[in-house]
Amino acid sequence: MLDTITKKRINDCRDILVGKLPDPKGQIEQITIGLIYKFMDDMDKESIELGGNAKFFSNDFKKYSWDSLFDARVTASDMLSLYSEAIENMEKNPNIPQLFRDIFNNAYLPYRDPETLKMFLKTIGEFEYTHSEKLGDAFEYLLSIMGSQGDAGQFRTPRHIIDFLVEIVEPSKTDTILDPSCGTAGFLISAFKYIKQKNNNELTPEQRKKLIQNFVGYDISPDMVRLSLVNLYLHGFSEPHIYEYDTLTSEERWNENFDVILANPPFMTPKGGIRPHKKFSIQANKSEILFLDYIIEHLSGTKKAGIIIPEGVLHNNYASYKSIREKLIKENLLYAVVELPHGVFKPYASVKTHILFIDKDIAKIKDEILFVQIENDGFTQTGARKPVKQNDLGEAKRLIQAFKSTNNITSKLVKFNTVHKTEILNDKCLSLVGRRYKAIHYANSSNYPTRKLDKKLIKVFKGTSGAQSTEEGNYRFVVTAENFRTSKDYAFNCKAICVPIVSSTGHGHASVRRLHYIEGKFALANIMCGIEVLDESILLPKYLYFILSAMKEEILASLMTGTSNVSLDKDDIYDIEIPCPSIEIQQKIIQSQLNTENEIFEMKKKIKANLKKLSNEGKKIWN
């Protein structure tokens, strides 16, 4: 637990630097370098107190010691020159371990204000070297400020999501563990803490030493490597195994396999795509698909993994995406998928993500895959991400743990469904978005017989008119808004149910505000599709309109997919099952619905009239 004094010191350091370094990442780098610099001096003093000699600040580097910097005879300008020279040359110090050399690699002072540096180092001087959790927690707090890690789709994973993932994967003290895109090593530290807690913090020094050897991280960014090294070092890893390594294009470490892989790989592919080496089993140039393939290929033993991925990986129709999904199922790797709220990575991005849980021992005895929807993760879905009482993570964890050992699972607190592997493999999309299967079978809970909206029963067509480019005219122009517009030309002449194919709210969140029903000649917005009933002896168009309107969130919104731009594939409508009673019952339902709509219309009319009357009376009183 981070104490208030340590947190204040971290914030003080940032406040001092912010005028010279507005970028949080730059602040963190300078605080990191300053802390390690101070800790080396602390360790030298501890060595001298025990009868030894200074190691780090000795010989040519003695002039850079902490006491030398703060010597009364050293002016602020002298301090700036000394410190700047020290951090630039420190990687050449023959007396420091490789870990510290890596931390000081390419280090420099990005500002030249002596007074700012003096205030900054004075605050850094209030920290004292220790291997306790206090400094580790302080550094994690510091890293949490950074949030976004650049423009490559690398977003810092929130601590509570990391811990949730690790607790479900359940790594053991004998497992070798990898994060192939480790960022600041959050997954590795969470796994380390989990294993220690699982063993009641009673690991012997020898067991702890062996345990630490099992953790490995790769990252393409030297800045992230530096932060990972410090983060692990402050959590008791005297020699962290973090490597600057391009997981997707380098081959040197291809033969290294691991029992457990924990990862939140980058979501974004650079312009022009990735050019991977030839050892991947899937031919692709998208980072998210290559990382998933890499993880599958580098699992050994029981093959356990927890991987955060963008929703597109689970539903994209490209051959490489379908191939990797097929591999996950056919090779008995995947057993559960957790859908996260769209706001998990706010304020840096609003993306729809899922967690894949892999465990070969569990998957090979399961005929179904469990899908769980997290609607609340304990924080608002806004940019502020303020804590709230609603939190589905605990119940989701309980549900997944129950699924591991039994097929009879229930929950009234979170949405979930299980889907047979054969149904997924036979699905035209081979989709691993669980709500899709829930949506197309939603009508099974009806008291009426169900009917699939196949191509013999309906025709689905896409709108062709742009909202801005359509000239006004005599024909109705159906748009997503409540009221129709007009168009000079028409494109369709039929009875149609008009459905938005783009989410009303967008940005990772699926929503359908309204559907429209129309008869005759009309134009249709190009962000909508129309449904025409081909056989009215089986299905009445207006009945279909009322049914889909009533189920728009459960069915249509649930079929919308996308990482950030969420949309509906119009062809997915052909997979929907609806309650399909006799024509006589459909007519009764239509009439009942029309009566209700008329009542609502009359009520609205009455309210408007009353408001107008009150307004007129108010004017008279005022006059």
Q: What are 86-142's pLDDT values in tens digits?
A: 999 999 999 988 888 888 988 999 999 999 999 999 999 988 875 445 667 777 777
Neighbours of 592 (CB within 10 A): 11
pLDDT band at 61 (very low <50, low <70, confident <90, very high): very high
Q: Is the pLDDT of residue 167 over 90?
A: yes
pLDDT band at 623 (very low <50, low <70, confident <90, very high): very low
Q: Is the pLDDT of residue 600 over 70?
A: no
Q: Is the pLDDT of residue 369 over 50?
A: yes
- The pLDDT, as a whole number, for residue 603 is 60
- The pLDDT, as a whole number, for residue 564 is 76
Q: Is the pLDDT of residue 621 over 50?
A: no
- The pLDDT, as a whole number, for residue 131 is 43
Q: Taking residues 19-40, what's their average pLDDT?
A: 89
- The more confident residue out of 326 and 229 is 326
Q: What are 293-302's pLDDT values in tens digits?
A: 999 999 998 8
- The pLDDT, as a whole number, for residue 92 is 93
pLDDT band at 151 (very low <50, low <70, confident <90, very high): very low
Q: Which range has the worst mean pLDDT, 22-31, 336-345, 607-616?
A: 607-616
What is the average pLDDT value for the chain, to the nearest integer?
A: 88
Q: Taking residues 284-299, what's their average pLDDT?
A: 90
The proportion of the chain whose per-residue pLDDT surpasses 70, expressed as a percent, equals 91
- The pLDDT, as a whole number, for residue 231 is 85
Q: What is the dihedral of CA 473, 478, 481, 483, to 10 degrees?
A: 60
- The pLDDT, as a whole number, for residue 209 is 87
Structure tokens that stand for 312 in this block: 């597109």
- The pLDDT, as a whole number, for residue 153 is 44
Q: What are 370-400's pLDDT values in tens digits?
A: 999 999 998 888 777 788 999 999 999 999 9
The proportion of the chain whose per-residue pLDDT surpasses 90, expressed as a percent, equals 61
Task: Report the C-alpha gap between 288 and 305 in whole angstroms.
Answer: 15
pLDDT band at 150 (very low <50, low <70, confident <90, very high): very low
DSSP 314-371: HH--SHHHHHHHHHHHHTT-EEEEEEPPTTTTTTT----EEEEEEEHHHHTT-SEEEE
Q: Taking residues 594-622, what's their average pLDDT?
A: 61
Q: What are 323-358's pLDDT values in tens digits?
A: 999 999 999 999 999 999 988 877 667 788 999 999
| Helix segments in 147-286, DSSP class H | 159-169, 186-198, 205-213, 222-234
Evaluate if pTM is beyond 0.95. Answer: no
Strongest mean pLDDT among 151-165, 285-299, 527-541: 527-541
CA–chain centroid gap for 520, Å, is 45
- The pLDDT, as a whole number, for residue 382 is 78
Q: What are 179-219's pLDDT values in tens digits?
A: 999 988 999 999 999 999 999 878 888 888 889 999 999 99
Task: Report the C-alpha gap between 437 and 423 in whole angstroms.
Answer: 9
- The pLDDT, as a whole number, for residue 100 is 87
- The pLDDT, as a whole number, for residue 148 is 43
Task: Report the C-alpha gap between 438 and 447 in whole angstroms.
Answer: 17
Name the residue among 528, 563, 602, 7 with its Cα closest to residue 315.
563
- The pLDDT, as a whole number, for residue 226 is 84
How far, in Å, are 24, 130, 355, 386 from residue 56 at the CA level?
Answer: 29, 17, 44, 44
- The more confident residue out of 166 and 593 is 166
- The pLDDT, as a whole number, for residue 609 is 66
